[in-house]
Amino acid sequence: MSYVILGLLLIAPQSLYDLVKNFEAGVALFYSASSGSIKRALDILLAQGHIEVASVEPGGRGRKTYRVTGSGREEFRAWMTAEPAGPDLETAALSRLFFLGLLEPGERVPVLRRITARIETDLARLTALDQRLDTLDIPAEHLDVAAYQRATLDYGLASHRFVLDWFRDQIARHESPER
| CA nearest neighbour of 156 among 134, 128, 126 | 126
pLDDT tens-place values along the chain, 179 residues long = 899 999 999 999 999 999 999 988 888 888 888 889 999 999 999 999 999 988 888 776 778 899 999 999 999 999 999 999 888 889 999 999 999 999 999 999 999 999 999 999 999 999 999 999 888 888 999 999 999 999 999 999 999 999 999 999 999 998 887 75
Beta strand 64-68 with 51-56 is antiparallel
Residues 6+ apart with CB under 8 A from 79: 3, 6
Element containing residue 165 per DSSP (H, E): helix 143-175
Q: pTM of the entire structure?
A: 0.86
Residue 87, helix vs strand vs coil? coil
Tell me what pLDDT residue 60 has: 62
Sign of the C-alpha dihedral, residues 161, 164, 168, 170?
Answer: positive
Residue 158 confidence (pLDDT): 97
Q: What is the 3-state secondary structure (H, E, C) of 7-35?
A: HHHHHCCEEHHHHHHHHHHCHHHCCCCCH
pLDDT at 156: 95
Extents of the domains making up the chain: 2-81, 95-175
CA 5 to centroid of chain Cα atoms? 12
DSSP of 97-163? HHTGGGS-HHHHHHHHHHHHHHHHHHHHHHHHHHHHHTTPPPPGGGHHHHHHHHHHHHHHHHHHHHH
Strand partners, 65: 15, 55
Q: For 2-81, which CATH class?
A: mainly alpha
